[in-house]
Amino acid sequence: MHNRTHTAMPMTYPQTAIQDAEIPRASEPMMQHVLDTYASETNKVYSVWTSFAGEHLGFRPHPKSSTVVEIMRHQLLSERRFFGEFLGTPEAPAAEVLPLVQTAEEFAQRLVVLARPRLAFLAAQRAQWWRVRVPFFDVERERIWVFWRRILHTAHHRTQLTVYQRLLDSPVLPTYGPTADVTWSGADPTHTVEAASRAGQKA
């Protein structure tokens, strides 16, 4: 397990697969947040996946739920489809997406290996490329819309796994803020009306 409790320090993750210095610079400066977000979300998924012990990969909270390993498989395959079919990025053949050895660590490593060339490709694209409408299942959407839909899809499945962590009585890792298990100095979750009213007051 790779769980650590962080205190008296800024928010960090148990492991960071893609360092800030490795994120390419976007040819369109206004699109840098796209690259930064994709790298950050990949790091979050990597951190959550590598926290699962081998004996938990077959866990499912309900007979109709996906197992941990099924969610990992779906993440890799669906991400390949979003980027390859809908966005048009160069991708490995679908048959080569999944790791040969299906452990949490191998799935996490494969996630990062597939993400790195996408970052490089996306960094080179100009604003007009992002605005092109492309087929998306049975509709058409701009590429930038498809990208953010992918981020939401990834966050959805990562959240599934953090719920599984709680049900397994494992520490729940932070992704966008502290959890009951992991916090740090300066963490400032919004749980009160007072906290929510710190800005935006009408004159």
Q: Per residue in 103-156, pLDDT tens?
A: 999 999 999 999 999 999 999 999 999 999 999 999 999 999 999 999 999 999
Task: Provide the 10 A C-beta neighbour count for residue 94.
Answer: 13
C-alpha 149/C-alpha 61 separation (Å) is: 26
**Average of per-residue pLDDT across 60-69:** 97
H or E segment and range at residue 104:
helix 104-123
pLDDT digits (tens, 9 = 90+) for 72-116: 999 999 999 999 999 999 999 999 999 999 999 999 999 999 999
C-alpha 107/C-alpha 46 separation (Å) is: 9
Residue identified by tokens 């490593």 is 109
Q: What is the pLDDT of residue 11?
A: 54
What are the E-state strand segments in 55-116? none
C-alpha 12/C-alpha 5 separation (Å) is: 10
pTM over 0.75: yes
Q: 7 falls in which pLDDT band (50, 70, 90)?
A: very low
The angle, 0 to 180 degrees and rounded to 10, between the axes of the packed helices 32-49 and 104-123 is: 180
Task: Provide the 10 A C-beta neighbour count for residue 202.
Answer: 3
C-alpha 174/C-alpha 134 separation (Å) is: 34
Q: Which domains does the chain have, with CATH numbers?
A: 28-179 (1.20.120.450)
- Amino acid present at 161: L
Give the up-direction half-sphere exposure of residue 65: CA atoms within 13 A in the CB hemisphere.
Answer: 14
